[in-house]
Amino acid sequence: MIHIHFPLSINTVTWTKENTESTHEITDPVYLTGFPLDNKIRLLIDGNTRVSQLLEDGVDEINFYYISPADIVNEKILLFTIEKVMYSFLLETHTFKKYLNNGEHTHKFIFDSSNIFRDLKHLNVK
Cα 48–chain centre separation: 15
- What integer pLDDT is reported at residue 76 of this predicted model? 81
Predicted confidence (pLDDT) at residue 57 exceeds the cutoff of 80: yes
68-126: pLDDT as tens digits: 888 888 888 888 888 888 888 888 888 888 888 888 888 888 888 887 777 666 655 55
- What integer pLDDT is reported at residue 11 of this predicted model? 72
Q: Which residue has the higher pLDDT, 6 or 41?
A: 41
**What are phi and psi for residue 97, nearest 5 degrees?**
-60, -45
- Give every CB contact of residue 52 below 8 A, 6+ residues apart in sequence: 17, 18, 19
Q: What is the mean pLDDT of the chain?
A: 81
Do the beta carbons of residue 31 and residue 47 sit within 8 Å?
Answer: yes
Q: Which of 67, 41, 89, 82 is nearest to 15 (CA)?
A: 41
Q: Where are the domains of the chain?
A: 1-67, 76-126
Does this model's pTM top 0.75?
Answer: no
